[in-house]
A and B are shown apart, each in its own frame.
Chain A
């Protein structure tokens, strides 16, 4: 059973701080990794994708991937109250089939 694990939180950070979200996955052959943000009552929206080891930056967001450790993380710099949401880590497994396996999400609260 392919699994994606996340700390359920809740994670609470003050405004302006760095929020660090972590995710581990069990399928060593996984190829593609995604972070989705889901506001309460809304559907998930993609915020970052990463496919190779290392860091990928997009504005205030940085995704980090370490395939050897089967670990992917998301850093949010200068956190804003509008970043308060549940963050879902998702992994596409080996074989390239479009079957996203999601973690259960980490709820982030950014306090003004």
Chain B
């Protein structure tokens, strides 16, 4: 079974631009979560989507948004990029997002975003 895939793997943008990242979950998984990882803050939860609906949201500004399509693929968008947005963006998928036994999250390889 193919794992979680993310595109692109690397991105370089300048301040003020916007960016869209894509995540394809494991086949059959309906929950997709997004995380930001930086050396200083570690892994921080951005949001979670299930059945095309945002179900949970972390403490990030409104410049960070996302969506999920009917095939469970998800995108996240960051508008008006700031230098501090430079990070590894990870998505993770799970079956239904219950957090319970046998519903583990599996991570994709991540997208490394650099904002200049």
Residues on A close to B: CB < 8 A? 31-32, 34, 36, 42-46, 49, 51, 88, 90, 92, 96-105
B26, CB-defined interface residue at 8 Å:
no
A97, B56: Cβ atoms under 8 Å? yes
Q: How far is the CA of A51 from the CA of B17 in the complex (A)?
A: 43
A31, B100: Cβ atoms under 8 Å? yes
Find the A residue at minimum CB distance from B92.
Answer: A100
A100, B45: Cβ atoms under 8 Å? yes
Q: How large is the interface on B (under 10, 10 to 19, 20 to 34, 35 or more residues)?
A: 20 to 34
Find the A residue at minimum CB distance from B107.
Answer: A43
Number of A-B contacts (CB under 8 A): 72
Sample of 30 A–B contacts (CB below 8 Å): A32-B101, A34-B104, A43-B88, A43-B108, A43-B109, A43-B110, A44-B43, A45-B107, A46-B106, A88-B43, A90-B43, A92-B99, A96-B99, A97-B48, A97-B56, A97-B99, A98-B31, A98-B48, A98-B50, A98-B94, A98-B97, A98-B98, A98-B103, A99-B48, A99-B58, A100-B105, A102-B43, A102-B45, A103-B42, A104-B42
Q: How far is the CA of A77 from the CA of B114 in the complex (A)?
A: 38
A49, B104: Cβ atoms under 8 Å? yes
Chain A residues with CB under 8 A of B100: 31-32, 51, 96
Chain A residues with CB under 8 A of B56: 97-99
Chain B residues with CB under 8 A of A31: 99-100
Q: How far is the CA of A51 from the CA of B102 in the complex (A)?
A: 10
